[in-house]
Structure 1
Amino acid sequence: MTYEENLEGKGYKLPTQSNKRIFEAGVRTGNLIFVSGNAAKVDGVLKYKGIVGDTVTLEQAQDAAKIAFVNCLATVRNMMGSLDRMKRIVNIKGYVASTPEFTDQPKVMDEVSRLAIEIFGEVGKHSRVSLGTSSLPEGTPVEVEIVVEVEFD
């Protein structure tokens, strides 16, 4: 079973992407791909908007983080042709727009870490950071970026 099939088995489908930004969706240097931050967009529309601990619940933020992570994986697939060329998820960064009182940013990103390990096994084990911020672009409650090691022919 491929990584993409594993992902679909968990209810996630990699979206098609077009880069309309002035920066790259992902940049490869050597065997590493640095994927730019992604929001929880489904068919180009934010699934959630707001601030975690105010208008967005912990559970909604966790769902948003997983969607944003899947969007990051779509960039890897678009660059490599397949997720199966991934050797390791090196690092995951999660930015959580939250109230000053909300301190569960790691709990938001724990769901991404679990999903990465469920889909990729040992390849999915990674280092991570979870940061709180006052706001994020377009009102998204969560933004995720990843670094992956890939195999080239």
Structure 2
Amino acid sequence: MSITEKLKELGIELPGFNPPAANYSPAIRTGDFIFTAGQTPKQGGKLVLTGKVGVEVSEEQTYEAVKTCALNCLTIVDYYAGGLDNVAAIVKLTVFLNTEPGFADHAKIGNGASDLFVSVFGAHGCAARSAVGVASLPGNAPCEIELVVRLKDASIPPKG
């Protein structure tokens, strides 16, 4: 089954691109790899959730917000890879959480992205992962993620 078919089966529709918030590229494609810029939980260019995890926003809300970040990354990867069917594997996932000192459930919230990627890509979506707490994130976002993705065929051009 193609990744496009899998997304339809799961009822997942990729969101549109969110414009970069500063002077950077949404991703860089080099050789067989795509490195995404960090993606916060934006829809239509606006944050859907703000605040510190466990203080102003719940862990459950942040788990869902991490999924939004993951979908934003997939939108970018879809473009730069020439389609998600050209993704061989999600290689590395980094999850940043806007937390207070002493917060300890980073891994559980990071599963928002990992669970999504595994549901879409199967075993190839199970990446090496870091989930870390930080003092703040852009716009007071509760979370941000970035990906490294390996391509099946580097000769396939980006979309567009």
TM-score by structure 2 length?
A: 0.89
Partner of 1:148: 149
Kept in 1, the 8 Å contact 2:38–2:144? The answer is yes
Secondary structure in structure 1 of the residue aligned to 2:91:
strand
Alpha-carbon offset, residue 18 of structure 1:
5.5
Moved more, 99-108 or 134-143: 99-108
Runs of 4+ in 1 over 6 A off after TM superposition: none
The total of aligned residue pairs comes to: 153
Kept in 2, the 8 Å contact 1:48–1:141? The answer is yes
What runs of 5+ residues in structure 1 fail to find an aligned partner? none
Task: Note closer, same or farther for the CA distance 1:15–1:130 as it changes in structure 2 (3 Å cut).
Answer: same
1:45-83 C-alpha deviation (Å, 9 max, x unpaired): 211110001001000010010110110111111112310
* Paired residues for 1:4-43 under 5 Å: 4-17=4-17, 19-20=19-20, 21-43=22-44
Partner of 2:66: 65
Taking only the aligned residue pairs, the percentage that are identical comes to 33
Alpha-carbon offset, residue 144 of structure 1:
0.4
Kept in 1, the 8 Å contact 2:18–2:42? The answer is no
Q: CA RMSD in A?
A: 1.5
What runs of 5+ residues in structure 2 fail to find an aligned partner? 156-160
Alpha-carbon offset, residue 118 of structure 1:
1.0
TM-score by structure 1 length?
A: 0.92
Structure 2 CA distance, aligned partners of 1:93 and 1:12?
Answer: 22
Partner of 1:52: 53
